[in-house]
Amino acid sequence: MPAAGAQRLHKDMRLRKRAEFVSVQQGGAKISGRFVMALAQRTPTAPTAGASAVAVGRVGLTVTKKIGDAVTRNRVKRMIREWLRTHGWVSPGWDVVVVAREAVRTVRTVEQLAPDLSKIQRQLVAWSGAGASAS
């Protein structure tokens, strides 16, 4: 059994403040799927003394009360985090907000979410490779 924090989403890899979520939601490009939608925006780079200019990818999850009670919302968030853990986090240089849609209530396994999350990841890689600014 791996150590408790071995595969955890480190705080530097998460959107944590409301202003970060709002910035992505207002200026981000949309990637839609059946169960989830993602809003993605290039990470604002503000290199500090001694820090590298390569920004780490950050992700935030939004699962509203429309989805269901706390148990349901937490289950959805756990499934999304598990997929991210096993398939790689967000591409470096991107801030991504993953928003659960109401249809996600019917999802019972990570494999059911996989097509939507894979689509988001592929699109981010394509945008990164093309040098496109999705914001």
Q: Is residue 6 part of a domain?
A: no
In this structure, the dihedral spanned by the alpha carbons of residues 59, 75, 38 and 13, taken in order and rounded to 10 degrees, is 0
Q: How far is residue 101 CA from its own chain's centroid? A: 14
Q: Is residue 3 part of a domain?
A: no
- φ and ψ of 14, to 5 deg: -120, 150
What is the pTM assigned to this prediction? 0.81
Q: How far is residue 22 CA from its own chain's centroid? A: 14
Residues, the chain: 135
Q: Is residue 108 part of a domain?
A: yes
Q: Residue 74: what pLDDT?
A: 96
In this structure, the dihedral spanned by the alpha carbons of residues 132, 26, 54 and 115, taken in order and rounded to 10 degrees, is -70
- Cβ(122)–Cβ(89) below 8 Å: no
Q: Residue 93: what pLDDT?
A: 84
Q: Is residue 133 part of a domain?
A: no
The total of structural domains in the chain comes to 1
Domain CATH for 64? 3.30.230.10
Q: Containing domain of residue 17, as a range?
A: 11-43+53-126
Q: Is residue 134 part of a domain?
A: no
Q: Is residue 75 part of a domain?
A: yes
Percent of the chain with pLDDT over 70: 81
Q: Which residue in 124, 89, 123, 110 sits closest to 35, CA to CA? A: 110
Q: Is residue 99 part of a domain?
A: yes
Q: Is residue 16 part of a domain?
A: yes
pLDDT along the chain (135 residues), means of 10: 56 87 91 94 64 71 96 95 85 89 94 93 83 52
Residue-wise pLDDT tens digits, 88-120: 777 788 899 999 999 999 999 999 999 999 998
